[in-house]
Structures are given as C-alpha cells and as structure tokens.
Amino acid sequence: MQLSDYMRQALTLAKEAAAAGEVPVGALIVSSGEVIAAARNRVEELQDPLAHAEMLAIRAAKAALGSRYLTDCTLVVTLEPCPMCAGAIMLARVGRLVFGCPDGRLGACGSAFNVPAYRDALYKPEVIGGVCEDECRALLKEFFRARRDNGQ
Amino acid sequence: MQLSDYMRQALTLAKEAAAAGEVPVGALIVSSGEVIAAARNRVEELQDPLAHAEMLAIRAAKAALGSRYLTDCTLVVTLEPCPMCAGAIMLARVGRLVFGCPDGRLGACGSAFNVPAYRDALYKPEVIGGVCEDECRALLKEFFRARRDNGQ
C-alpha cells in the first residue's frame, strides 16, 4: 500500500466524523504495513475537547501493541496536528507522521509551530506533509461552509 | 488561599511521584477556591508517556464538573507544561495556568514554545509562572541527580 492509500482510509474516517457533526479529521496508525488503529474526531460525541483523532488513535495503537512507544509505527492523519497532538506524537515516539493538509492557524508540525523539529527534542519523528492535500482540504472547507450556511 | 499554598499542595503530589520513581510533577485544578482535581505524573506506573500530571488533572476536573470546558478554573502545576499539555490546556479552555519552574528544554508556555500566547488562538488563558520556583526546581534537580548516581 502507498501512503495515499492509507490517507484515503483516513479520509473515509474523516467523512464519518463530518456525517456525525464533528470537524472532519481521521487518523490511523500503521505497523508493518497493517492498520492497527483507526479513529476519527469525537469531540462533540464525547463532549471532550481533547478527543482528537490522533489522541484516540495513539491510545488504541498502544493498547493493540501492548507497548509504551510507537517507534516502528506511522501515524496517518488528514490534518496537520495541533500542539497537543504533535506533543503526544513526540512523547509516544511515533516513528513517522504523515499528514494531509496543513493547518495554517494552529498546525504544530511546521505551520504555527514546529514541535517535531524542535532542536532539543530527545526524539524526532520523520514528517511527511501534503499527502492527498487537496482532498483533505476540500473536505474541511465543505464542512465549515455548510456549518456557516446553517448559521452555526 | 494564596497561589503559593496551592503550589505547595502540588509539590506534595510531585514528591509522591518521586517516591514512586516518576519524574516529580504534580498538578491540581482549583474552582471557586476549592481543589476539584489533583494528579501526579504516572508515566511509569501506567507505562503511558501521555500520562502527565496535567492531562490526568484536566480529565479528572472535567469529570468532577461534568463540563466540556474549564473556563473558570486555575490549573496549578510544578513544572512548565510541555507542548501536549499546553495544547490540552488551550483546548479545554482552562482559565488560568500557574506553573512553578520553567522547563528550558521543552516548556511550551514561554520557554521552547509559547502555545498560550499564539496570536491566532481562539482562547488564551492567563499564565503566571515562577510560583515557588526554587522549591519546584530543587525537587526536579534532586530527582535527576539521584537517578544519575544510581546509573539510570
């Protein structure tokens, strides 16, 4: 499977989030070519502003592997992670981060901040941005446009 | 109670962490003058690198209040929060952050990054650093000195 194939799976999760009234972000974690965890944003459902797709996917992957760290894993997410999620990716020692579209406002992997590149970090994941960028951006734009049209 | 009184309670939690072999960080959350949540670092105990004192305290405070946001709360923590915790503090809309000693290496509230001050943030907590700074720093220094002496 190519990175774009995994990103399309993450996009399917993001679309499920949108259908449930959540900001459409989907994430999955791959180990040895296999998807071991998949999650979507559940902030509204759980009434928990920390329930981002990446946090839920990291927790599920740790449970699936029974390990403290995710060194040999790739996290694939449709949107550039925020500071909380970028920090969690570093702490969990995710080996590789692949994201779809950048988040110019709050993205913490090169846009507003660059947490993974911080020079004093003990651990630095490989970061690949812009995979299926246009599809990921279009989904977010459509969600926020529809929400504005509904006066929300 | 003064902020230094709350910080001394957080220091007691940090000492409990040190006694359990954890990096000594303690946190509590205050609402209307009352401590509604208290937690210490549990990374080793839970084998979970995301189990920082602040994250556990935020989760406990949300459960105690039954609310999505912690707008009227103060989070008191012995060490400057890392990017993950600073991001979570913003997302949970914690009204005020009070920390003890700065973390020059990974602190995300003014040292390595300044997540709460980010210009495009929708929400900005009040931030007060340096409360009982010397005691908070001494506890961390002593912990890491002892760990080095034990060859860990």
Q: How far is the C-alpha of B92 from the C-alpha of B58, rounded, in Å? A: 8
Using alpha carbons, select from A81, A94, A76, A56 the residue that is nearest to residue A10. Answer: A76
**Chain B residues within 8 A (CB-CB) of chain A?**
47-50, 55, 58-59, 62, 68-69, 82-88, 90-93, 105-106, 108, 112-113, 115, 118, 120-121
pLDDT tens digits, one per residue of A11-52: 999 999 999 999 999 999 999 999 999 999 999 999 999 999
Tell me how far apart the alpha carbons of residues B67 and B63 are, in angstroms, rounded to a whole number. Answer: 7
Which among B69, B86, B93 has CB closest to A83?
A: B86
Structure token pair of residue B94: 């914690």
If interface means Cβ-Cβ distance under 8 Å, which residues of chain A face chain B? 47-50, 55, 58-59, 62, 68-69, 82-88, 90-93, 105-106, 108, 112-113, 115, 118, 120-121
Contact A29, A61 (CB under 8 A): yes
B98, containing H or E segment: strand B96-101
**Cβ–Cβ gap B91/A58 under 8 Å:** no
Phi, psi of A35 (to 5 degrees): -75, 115
Task: Assign A123 a pLDDT band (cuts: 50, 70, 90).
Answer: confident
Q: Which of A70, A91, A119 to substitute to test the interface with B, most B CBs within 10 Å?
A: A91
**Which residues does residue A37 pair with via DSSP β-bridges, in sequence order?**
A29
How far is the C-alpha of A28 from the C-alpha of A39, rounded, in Å? 6
| Nearest alpha-carbon partner for A89 in B15, B130, B83, B120 | B83
Q: Which residues contact A116 (CB under 8 A, 6 or more apart)?
A: A86, A89, A90, A97, A109, A124, A125, A127
Using one digit for the tens of pLDDT, what is the confidence trace for B1-45? 899 999 999 999 999 999 999 999 999 999 999 999 999 999 999
Question: Of residues A72 and B121, which shows the higher confidence score?
Answer: A72
pLDDT score at A147 = 87
Report residues of chain B scoring pLDDT below 70: 152
Find the mean pLDDT for residues A92-100. Answer: 97
Quick check: A6 pLDDT over 90?
A: yes
Residue A111 has pLDDT above 80, yes or no: yes
Which entry of B22, B34, B54, B80 is annotated as an active-site residue?
A: B54
ipTM over 0.85: yes
> Residues A62, A92: contact at Cβ < 8 Å?
yes
- Element spanning A137, H or E: helix A133-149
pLDDT reading at A152 higher than 70: no
Q: Is residue B54 annotated as a catalytic residue, yes or no?
A: yes
List, for residues A130-140, the tens digit of each pLDDT value.
999 999 999 99
Q: Which residues lie closer than 8 Å to A114 by C-beta, 6 or more apart?
A: A108
